[in-house]
Structure 1
Amino acid sequence: MRGWAQSITAALLVVLVATLATVTTTGGTDADRVGPVSLAQGTQSPAPGVDRPNLVFVLTDDMRDDDLDHMPITRRLLADQGMELTDAISPHPLCCPARAQLATGQYAQNNGVQHNRGVHGGFEALDPAQEASTWWRDEGYRTALVGKFLNGYGPHDVRPAGWSRWDALTEGVYDYVNFSMTGDGRPEHHTGSHVTRVIEDHTNEAVRDFARSGDPFVVYAWHLAPHYRITPQGGRGLPPAMPQDEDLFVDQRPSSFDAPAFDEADVSDQPAYLRRLSPVSRAAVRAENTARLQSLQAVDRAVGSLVATLSQEGVLDETYVVFSSDNGYSLGEHRFVGKDVLTDEALQVPLLVRGPGIAAGTTSDLPVTLVDLPATFAGLTGVTPQWQVDGTSLAPTLLGDEQAFRDTTLIQTGRTLGDGWSHRGVRTERYLYGTDGVDAFLYDRLLDPDEMVNRVDDPAYAAVVAALELRRRELVTCAGWTCNQQFGPLPEPADPDGVRRAGPGEVPRVR
């Protein structure tokens, strides 16, 4: 990245001058002006015929988008009966920051949770009063959370005020078979019971009780699988399967094996967190993939029993059921196993929604994020967020309407030291760009969908880097509508002679 550090300031000035030259004030509406366009977050009334719909949100932990191919019950009941959002990401792909985004509807620069631990991380960094369950509580909804909340949440920590029923994991959170839960004020310790089954049973109990009360409800079922196991002694191991699943997927070939980036031969141009890595063990990746898929079978059945419970209680047709993961997971791409990096394997998450007004078997390729989900849940249920949120409600798209959307999305990672930030960048339809101020990367995903060539020092991409850096600088401090702008076209990469070029078969236009 040596050339990048010297050239970025000059290139930024060139792009800034060019950008300012194109911005005009015509006296018309905002839509008539050239330059960044803000997209109103808006609100959306519930689907016609449903007065106060319910919502159930099922969340997994560290699930890859393509793991969904091995969850047939979830695909049949949610994807086939609702909408799959095929370009959903976790823009801060680490457990605690991702869950804080879901709890607040805000990016980490606004909710304060930048990492799993340290002064900038964990539950202690979250203001428990700034937690979205209060939106529904204050509108007469019953609310429940069952399962894993934010990292660091313990048995003596405050209960967020908006939950009617609070059943969070507190001790042995990652152990699967030796753990404690708050039990809604009656703490329970479990030994020998698989955590997925306990979360399933407690979720269904909450749904039954709430449905029979006649009040509308919001229930979060936040599972642990397929996160790796951590024993109370601190040992790390594979996620344990339930007994009936222990013989499944033993011969399953990991999908990452077929990715050109798997165990990438030359990582010398990659950002520091990748180029320092040794080659991965295929046997270890295969074993982890098998264990992860085995652990997800219990979640798949839990989705089935949840939908069955909603149906048995007569509320399925008036309930939105949402399924996603807190972040993705890399299984050997670029030699990396894990998350908390800005590559598509770690960013990409599954996102399925079924419910009233959502056409069955539909898809959307909007570039949505987990930050959009609280605004979406508010929109679908007709409640108003009580503070400024950074996401955009997806309710119009889910209910079949056209929706203008941002063209550039903030992505970022944190650290435990210093100011709490590591790499921060942006994602567009074509590019993935980020930097920590010294260590930078740029992937042209049109020409290089596997992100194997870092073009940040390529002179042909100097104008692209400068334009993306301007967007990055604006978005790292964004709040509310400023996180959801349409900046317009980016410059084209240039040939060595300085002439702009397009990708193969492409017209000369880049977004």
Structure 2
Amino acid sequence: MIASWFRKVWFRLVTPVFCLSVFATLSLGSQAVAASPDASSEASATPMNVVVLYADDWRHDTLGVAGNPVVQTPTLDALAGEGMRFTENCVTTSICGVSRACLFTGQWMSSHGCDGFKPFETPWEQTYPGVLRDSGYHVGHVGKWHNGKFPGENYDFGRSYYGRHWFKMPDGSKVHVTQRNENDAMEFLGNRPKEQPFCLTVAFFATHAEDGNPQQFLPQPESMHLYQDVEIPVPANATDESFHRLPEFVANDGNEGRNRYHWRFDTPEKYQIMMKNYYRLATEVDSTCGKILKTLEEQGVLDNTLVIFTTDNGYYHAEHGLADKWYPHQESIRVPLIIRDPRMPADKHGSTNDDFTLSVDLAPTILNAVGAEVPESMQGRDMATLYDVKDASQAKWRDEFFYEHPTIRDKNFIPKSEALVRKDWKYFYWPEFDREQLFRISDDPHEENDLINDPAHAKQLAEMRARFKELKREAASKSNGGS
């Protein structure tokens, strides 16, 4: 591979046209395999661009193409038809700040050191935007940051804002946060240097609630006609019985998940209002994604751009009598992932994959796709193996992973939780209470029947306890950016 400093020198100092020609030749030669014969001739001639569409508080099934009978997401449904949708994609920590640190660093929380909303400890040059900028890319970030002070000096184009759905602009006008995301993304795409490859991360604030506002979800007026005549189905386990099957340190009104349930879901009328507005926010994000993709097409670069849609964490829609995320249940940890990769073989377009892919896989996947050097600190894996761009026989894909979440404020507010996640079994551990849970997901997908005290599963429990400890150690193996 070409050293990142060498690429940087070429891009910054050599004439643009000559530089691109040299970089394309060297970069393509450094990739593990040649580009797919289905890729366009343009994609094989110039460095690949990267666009990451990164939404908020949006779980795996909030997509029409995922079978949701209500939400309208035509752009993302079409994107899935042009790429691959990963149906068992999960986050390794289900909370805004930490999950974003996992995205940028390709590391578990135990290694990047962000256990809330502070800056991660991994050096910037070991993040995917850092590597790409050092490699000569024009790098932009639009929208939510949530990892301490936004490091604007590390971007060629940086606009960070979140927390509200409506912003008052300097000229006195008001703009919705998703429209602001769109405006800034369009400015980046319109003004980017045409001689450089680019990377843009659009970090939407939607569908996150506006905390503290009694309305919670505030879509744009033109979206209010959507879902007016629809009855949103209420989950079967959005009940007090399910809530009280949770450990007592969660199943109480002092827990923030229950507190937010009361904000949003504790009456049938409130549930309908909140969920309709939540889905309206989702459709607005979908619309903005459509405009970004259309601009890429109009600029003639869509077929040479790696496009990724995913989100920072899942979301309870009142399941278990809870709201928001944090805990290791399926609703909280499973998130959508769609990848449209110009190298992807045509027979993979519109397909799905049910392997465990993780938030930490995105950074190494991005860097490998463009032929950049992947830092040794990154713990994720290149997902291109799963769509035949790389030899799938090189290594067996994971069939389990370690989940971790920090304490937020104190153990009564949001307690620390950990888990060993498999498709057929899941082991929970609540460290501050030394409490274990065991669920057989294959028979109990809603995680209602805790088998921890069932002697029939003692052997299964012992094996998972031991494996859990191994994976927990591995998650912390690259702390502070070390190798």
Do both share a fold (TM > 0.5)? yes
**Structure 2, gaps ≥5 residues long:** 1-29, 65-70
Q: Match for residue 204 of structure 2?
A: 223
Q: Aligned runs of 1:32-71 on 2, under 5 Å?
A: 44=32, 47-48=35-36, 50=44, 51-69=46-64, 70-71=71-72
Q: How far apart are residue 68 of structure 1 and its match?
A: 1.3
Measured in 2, the distance between the counterparts of 1:406 and 1:102 equals 18
Q: What's the CA shift string for 1:50-95, capped at 9, x where partnerless?
A: 2411110001110122221224332343111111111111121110
2:198 partner letter: F
SS in 2 for 1:410: strand
Q: How far apart are residue 402 of structure 1 and its match?
A: 3.0
Measured in 2, the distance between the counterparts of 1:303 and 1:284 equals 29
2:416 partner letter: S
Is residue 399 of structure 2 the alignment partner of residue 407 of structure 1?
yes
Change (3 A) 1:388 1:160: farther
Q: What's the CA shift string for 1:432-488, capped at 9, x where partnerless?
A: 2111231221110111111111111111111111111111111222159999xxxxx
1:361 partner letter: G
Q: Match for residue 253 of structure 1?
A: 231
Measured in 1, the distance between the counterparts of 2:122 and 2:271 equals 34
Change (3 A) 1:220 1:190: farther
Q: How far apart are residue 105 of structure 1 and its match?
A: 0.6
Q: Match for residue 509 of structure 1?
A: none
Percent of aligned pairs sharing the same letter: 24
Q: What's the CA shift string for 1:369-388, capped at 9, x where partnerless?
A: 11111011112111112341
Q: Match for residue 107 of structure 2?
A: 106
Measured in 2, the distance between the counterparts of 1:75 and 1:322 equals 10
Measured in 1, the distance between the counterparts of 2:251 and 2:476 equals 36
Is residue 246 of structure 2 the alignment partner of residue 270 of structure 1?
yes
Q: Aligned runs of 1:373-392 on 2, under 5 Å?
A: 373-392=362-381
Please tell me whether the aligned partners of residues 129 and 160 of structure 1 are also in contact (alpha carbons under 8 angstroms).
no
Measured in 1, the distance between the counterparts of 2:168 and 2:378 equals 34
Q: Match for residue 137 of structure 2?
A: 141
1:402 partner letter: A
Please tell me whether the aligned partners of residues 325 and 350 of structure 1 are also in contact (alpha carbons under 8 angstroms).
yes
Q: Aligned runs of 1:51-450 on 2, under 5 Å?
A: 51-69=46-64, 70-116=71-117, 122-123=118-119, 128=124, 130-153=126-149, 158-159=151-152, 161=154, 163-169=155-161, 173-178=162-167, 191-210=173-192, 213-230=194-211, 234-255=212-233, 257=234, 259-263=235-239, 265-276=241-252, 280-358=266-344, 359-399=348-388, 402=392, 404-416=396-408, 422-437=416-431, 438-450=434-446
Q: How far apart are residue 422 of structure 1 and its match?
A: 1.1
Measured in 1, the distance between the counterparts of 2:384 and 2:171 equals 39
**Structure 1, gaps ≥5 residues long:** 1-41, 117-121, 181-187, 484-511
Change (3 A) 1:208 1:389: same
Q: What's the CA shift string for 1:148-199, capped at 9, x where partnerless?
A: 012543xxx54352x2211111xxx21121268xxxxxxx687511111111
SS in 2 for 1:434: strand
Measured in 2, the distance between the counterparts of 1:209 and 1:460 equals 64
Please tell me whether the aligned partners of residues 73 and 286 of structure 2 are also in contact (alpha carbons under 8 angstroms).
yes
Measured in 2, the distance between the counterparts of 1:260 and 1:312 equals 45
Please tell me whether the aligned partners of residues 73 and 282 of structure 2 are also in contact (alpha carbons under 8 angstroms).
no
Q: How far apart are residue 269 of structure 1 and its match?
A: 4.0
Q: Match for residue 464 of structure 2?
A: 468
Once the two structures are overlaid, the 10-residue window that deviates more, 127-136 or 335-344, is: 127-136
Measured in 1, the distance between the counterparts of 2:49 and 2:281 equals 28
Once the two structures are overlaid, the 10-residue window that deviates more, 352-361 or 277-286, is: 277-286
Q: How far apart are residue 43 of structure 1 and its match?
A: 7.2
Measured in 2, the distance between the counterparts of 1:216 and 1:480 equals 34
Q: How far apart are residue 312 of structure 1 and its match?
A: 0.7
Please tell me whether the aligned partners of residues 89 and 370 of structure 1 are also in contact (alpha carbons under 8 angstroms).
yes
Q: How far apart are residue 364 of structure 1 and its match?
A: 0.7
Measured in 2, the distance between the counterparts of 1:335 and 1:418 equals 21
Please tell me whether the aligned partners of residues 390 and 480 of structure 1 are also in contact (alpha carbons under 8 angstroms).
no
Flag the structure with higher helix content. 2
Q: Match for residue 18 of structure 2?
A: none
Measured in 1, the distance between the counterparts of 2:474 and 2:462 equals 19
Q: What's the CA shift string for 1:83-140, capped at 9, x where partnerless?
A: 1111111121110010010111101101111224xxxxx3376755553311111211
Q: What's the CA shift string for 1:331-389, capped at 9, x where partnerless?
A: 11111111111110111111111131223211111111111110111121111123411
Change (3 A) 1:190 1:327: farther
Runs of 4+ in 1 over 6 A off after TM superposition: 418-421, 480-483
Q: How far apart are residue 262 of structure 1 and its match?
A: 2.2
Q: How far apart are residue 145 of structure 1 and its match?
A: 0.5
Change (3 A) 1:152 1:398: same
Please tell me whether the aligned partners of residues 45 and 381 of structure 1 are also in contact (alpha carbons under 8 angstroms).
no
Change (3 A) 1:179 1:83: farther
2:422 partner letter: T
TM-score by length of 1: 0.75
Q: How far apart are residue 395 of structure 1 and its match?
A: 1.2
Change (3 A) 1:364 1:469: same
